[in-house]
Structure formats: C-alpha cells, structure tokens
C-alpha cells in the first residue's frame, strides 16, 4: 500500500520520442519509494473532462500506473498517456465537457476551479506535467494556485527557457540529419536544390544543429529574416562547387523573408494557446529559388526537390539521448518531490542536471544567439568557439 501520497503525471502539446521513458522513470522510482502514481490522460484535457463521481467512467481521463504498464511502454516513442493542446484557462465553450456547459457559458472559459477540484478528487498530492512552454505555463498557473508542481521540459524545438535540453530534441536532430542525407540522392540525381522545412516556430535550433553537423549547406532560422536573393546566390555557388551539382537548405517553419514579417501559416484557425498552424515557407522558398536561379546561373533555371519533414522527425522510438535524459529527468523529479521542493523545472545546463524555478518558463523566450552561432551574411552556422561549450553547443541561459 502507498503511504507517502499520490503523484499525477501528464504529457501535453506535441508528441516526441522520450515521453514514455520519462513516465517510466518517474513511475518506477515513485512506486519503489512508496507513492501511488496516476497517469492523467490526454494532457490537461483529462483534468478538465473528469466527472467527479465514483461511479462515472473516467477511463479516458486517468489510469493507475504500474511497473508492468510503464515497462512495456518505456521503450517506445510517443506518449501512451496521449496528449492534447488543451489550455484549461482559455477553453472554448465547444470544448467544455457536457456536464459543465450550464456552468461555464462564456465563449472562452477559465476551467481552473474545476481542475483544482478534480486534482483533489483524484487525491493527487504532486503533479508532474511534461511539456513545452505552453503546457508548462499552465503548470506554473497551478503552482500559483497552490498545487505542488514539478515540471519536466520536452519539445523537439528545444525552446523551453531555463534548460539547454528538452526531451525529443536529440531524436529530432538525428532524424533530420538521416532524412536529409537520404534525400541527397534525389537532389544529386537530378542536379537540383534540396529544400527541407523543419519544425521551429520561434527558435531555429532544429535547423541550425543539423546544418552544423553537415546535413545542409545553408539554414534559415526564425531569429533572422532572410534575403531570398542572397539565398539563391549562395545556393547556386554551393551547387556549382558540389561534384553532383546540388545544394541543400534547411528552413525552420517560423522563418520569414526580409520585407515580409509574417510567418507562413496553413490557415487562420488558432489553437487554445493562440498559435496558428505553421507551414508553407518551404514551398515559397522552393518556388522563388526556381524563379530566381537563372539570374545567378547563366540564364538556366534550377529545379527543386521540396519536402516538409514534419511528423517524420517526431515519430518512432527515441534515440540514445532521448532514452537517457528522460530517465535522469524523471529521477530528479522524484528527488524534488521527496524533498518537497516544488515549483521547479528540471533542467540541463552546461552538461549538468539541475532545476530552476518554474517561473522561468514564462519569463522569456529561448532563442538562438545569432551573434554567437549564426552568420547572417552566409546563412549558416558559425563554426568556431566550441571549447567548453555543452554537447548541443547552444545553452539555455536565463
């Protein structure tokens, strides 16, 4: 029988490889230390939709976690608890569960009072949300409401402030490098430009690191608007130097062109955190490279292989780092729980595991330091000053 209390775990936002190893690490250690562990299903949605009735079927909202359950899932990608982009403090009326629609009638509703009651109903003493800055910003809200929160950062963009590393980033970089190299055969066979759009709304880490590792000739990141004429000129030069006559550029989905401040979106619909779905900058760049290439290629047009990597870099099993780091993050979370040191975000800084106040999540954005890491006149990384830098070069200074 558990004697120390009940720990709740949830995963929110986009899925990434490494979530299940983190859930496993928390659960195994917690059970051995004498805690009960409850998995909240579908992110924050599970704590919104719960019906506070012992006879109600709440199987879609939570589940008891055991060693057998997490051991089976711990080797796999995604999240077996499932996830959502639900934001309880800004819930549209259409998403309010049926049993609460007569109480919450506004167009946008703050469901935090229900979340707090549901946590009490489940008997949860400590909540461990695993997510990016959106998911964890609501974790901070609950901390301010008096909930004992210990947060774990995950996002393949690696853009959660306060930590150098977020779960999912290594697998994303690994897959991006692998797929870029695989697509070189197509670009080389046809002597084309290869344009690959990758994740990265505000931060360009997922484009910059693979380029630094040799996956691409150039990269375009959200932190610096790019000149399409300059890119075309550089890509033609790269293609001419390459024995197989092709060149590669990686583009963050949030990158923008000079004299055009808006990001490229798939539509006008926004999620509960106010974000439109990004996508399309790769298509725009591909077309303009094709149109402008004759100007820099003696009047001859260069065709383009254009691919959006998208979910291909976030699916499947975690790589080595996204199996090891979540294990460490989960065990540090339990250390903090046992110390009753709440309101913390697990972090990795300059190669060392640590924790920081959860408030850092909403304090600032984590972006590529252009002066240190990006050549704006060459649209590529700076290949120097690596001495005493962390494994992934760029830090989460705060």
Active-site annotation, residues: 157
Are 285 and 221 a contacting pair, CB within 8 Å?
A: no
CA distances (Å), 281 to each of 194, 215, 253, 313, 314, in order? 14, 19, 6, 18, 20
In whole angstroms, give the CA distance from residue 60 to residue 51. 11
* Nearest by Cα to 231 from 186, 293, 188: 293
* Nearest by Cα to 122 from 56, 24, 23: 56
CA distances (Å), 354 to each of 129, 255, 305, 340, 341, in order? 17, 32, 43, 16, 13
Report the chain's terminal Cα–Cα distance, integer Å: 42
User: DSSP secondary structure string, 109-124?
Assistant: E--HHHHHHHHHHHT-
**Which of helix, strand or coil describes residue 71?**
helix
Question: Which contiguous run of DSSP H or E holds residue 144?
Answer: helix 133-144
């Amino acid at each position: 029988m558990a004697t120390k209390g009940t720990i709740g775990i949830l995963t929110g936002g986009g899925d990434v490889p490494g979530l299940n190893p983190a859930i496993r690490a928390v659960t195994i250690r917690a059970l051995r230390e004498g805690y009960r562990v409850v998995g909240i299903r579908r992110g924050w949605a599970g704590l919104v939709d719960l019906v506070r009735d012992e006879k109600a079927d709440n199987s879609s909202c939570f589940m008891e976690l055991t060693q057998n359950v997490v051991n089976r899932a711990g080797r796999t990608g995604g999240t077996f608890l499932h996830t959502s982009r639900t934001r309880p403090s800004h819930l549209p009326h259409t998403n309010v569960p049926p049993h609460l629609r007569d109480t919450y009638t506004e167009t946008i509703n703050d469901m935090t009072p229900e979340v707090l009651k549901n946590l009490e109903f489940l008997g949860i003493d400590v909540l461990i949300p695993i997510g990016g800055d959106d998911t964890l910003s609501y974790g901070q809200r609950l901390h301010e409401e008096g909930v004992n929160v210990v947060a774990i950062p995950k996002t393949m963009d690696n853009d959660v402030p306060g930590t150098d590393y977020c779960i999912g980033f290594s697998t994303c970089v690994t897959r991006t490098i692998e797929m870029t190299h695989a697509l070189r055969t197509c670009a080389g066979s046809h002597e084309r430009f290869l344009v690959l759009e990758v994740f990265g709304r505000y931060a360009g880490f997922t484009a910059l690191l693979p380029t630094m590792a040799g996956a691409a000739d150039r990269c375009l990141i959200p932190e610096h608007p790019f000149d399409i004429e300059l890119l075309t000129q550089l890509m033609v030069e790269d293609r001419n130097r390459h024995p197989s006559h092709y060149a590669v550029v990686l583009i963050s989905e949030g990158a923008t062109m000079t004299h055009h401040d808006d990001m490229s979106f798939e539509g006008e619909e926004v999620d509960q955190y106010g974000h439109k779905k990004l996508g399309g900058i790769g298509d725009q760049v591909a077309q303009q490279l094709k149109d402008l290439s004759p100007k820099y290629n003696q009047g001859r047009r260069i065709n383009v292989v254009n691919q959006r990597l998208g979910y291909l870099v976030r699916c499947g099993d975690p790589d080595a780092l996204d199996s090891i780091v979540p294990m460490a993050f989960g065990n540090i979370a339990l250390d903090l729980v046992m110390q009753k040191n709440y309101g913390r975000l697990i972090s990795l800084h300059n190669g060392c595991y640590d924790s920081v106040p959860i408030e850092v999540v909403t304090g600032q954005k984590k972006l590529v330091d252009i002066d240190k890491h990006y050549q704006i006149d060459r649209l590529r990384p700076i290949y120097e000053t690596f001495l005493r830098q962390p494994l992934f070069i760029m830090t989460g200074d705060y």
